[in-house]
Amino acid sequence: MKVVIQNHNDVPLKFQYANGYVTNYQMKAELDPDFKYFLVYGKKDDKAPFYDAVYFRDKIPEVVFPAVVLEEQKIIYKPPFIPVFIEKLWVWIGMVVVILVLSFFSWRMVREESGK
């Protein structure tokens, strides 16, 4: 189980007991042995954080409820429904049918007008 507490700039939480984990990071580089290297992280002019939990300290409950462990659920993958008109073949067939129907009615209309 992994618990992540996003405390941001709030007052640090006090724990009676906690287990931790370590995320392994790897850095690979091709370094020249003639040079001296050093690893730096963070900022030189970093400021202390401002915690806003002091404004609602009395609203944090003293009693901590135990975590509820639920049983594992198996999720069955269902492929998404793909409408007929997503397939390009059906779109082209539909366009050809519409063009043929419009052409037929236009031809009949022109033929009737020319016969008068």
pLDDT digits (tens, 9 = 90+) for 61-105: 777 777 777 888 888 877 777 676 667 888 889 899 999 999 999
Give the span between the Cα atoms of 27 and 31, in whole angstroms: 12
Spatial distance between the Cα atoms of 50 and 11, rounded to a whole number of angstroms: 9
Q: Reduced to 3 states, what is the DSSP secondary structure of residue 53? A: helix
In the chain, the amino acid numbered 1 is: M
Residue 64, both tokens: 């901590």
Q: State the pTM of this model.
A: 0.29
Q: How far apart are CA 100 and CA 106, in angstroms?
A: 10
